[in-house]
Amino acid sequence: MRKKVAIFLFGAGVFDGSEIVESVSCQIAAERAGASVEFFSPDVFQRDVVDHASGKASNERRNVKSESARIARGKIFDAKDFNAEDFDALIFPGGFGAAKNASDFALKGKNAKVLPEIERAVLDFFALKKPMGFACISPASIAAPVLGKFGVSLTIGSDAQTAQSLESFGAKHVGCAAKSFVKDEARPVFSTPAYMLAANAAEVFEGISKMVSAMLK
């Protein structure tokens, strides 16, 4: 049977949504491994909108699911409708959307909370012992706030301040090169630094591809 992978997106663009290179890398890696992919996103408004050319905040108001649909080529499902039983693997790319829209990690750090529908998806997958992958900032902004109480091992690369925030939730940080990934010692929880450490898109893809291949073995 062909494996099914769910990828959660939180907007489109590194500064206020999902990082596009990471998101596409996750899809390509999964499909190259023979899996089919479906996209999910919360139907909420973005915390902010950033002009990616100037780096300045905009007064626009954008919907996270609508913006995520740009990456998913229009076919995207509401995060509230996600059923862990239907999928073999679950992946979260990075970008500030993972720290602003999926949670409030960008604002509250160690006191961050994750959206209820995202927390439920992670906990359901964890309970079923199915593989989950987290890239870039999502290990700190999504995985750690939800799974830190279980003492899972995660990586964001080598940034000491972010690693400290990750460990404040109870998770264990493991240093890792951009082209590699970390797997928890006892559970199928995977993570890779991606643009937290990578110098270019090729390094991002290599690390994500290795992680996804290991998840789908």
- How many CB atoms are closer than 10 A to CB 111? 12
pLDDT of 1 higher than 90: no
State which amino acid sits at residue 109: G
Q: Tokens representing 87?
A: 């999928």
> What residue spans of 10-93 are helical by DSSP H?
20-32, 64-71
Residue 85 confidence (pLDDT) above 90? yes
User: Count of CB atoms within 10 A of residue 45's CB?
Assistant: 14
Quick check: 47 pLDDT over 90?
yes
3: CB partners within 8 A, 6+ apart: 33, 34, 35, 36, 88, 89, 216
Per-residue pLDDT, averaged over 40-44, amounts to 98
At 102-151, the pLDDT tens digits run 999 999 999 999 999 999 999 999 999 999 999 999 999 999 999 999 99
Give the residue numbers annotated as catalytic, written as ranges.
Answer: 136
Mean pLDDT over the full length of the chain: 97
User: Which tokens go with 210?
Assistant: 């290795």
CA nearest neighbour of 50 among 112, 97, 105: 97
Question: Which residues are within 8 A (CB) of 17 and not within 5 positions of it... i.e. 6 or more apart?
Answer: 9, 10, 11, 46, 64, 67, 68, 95, 96, 97, 101
Residue position matching structure tokens 């890239």? 135
- Domain assignments of the chain as residue spans, ordered by start: 4-215
Contact between 68 and 195 under an 8 Å Cβ cutoff? The reply is: no
Q: What is the pLDDT of residues 159-175, one digit of tens each?
A: 999 999 999 999 999 99
Note the CATH number of domain 4-215.
Answer: 3.40.50.880
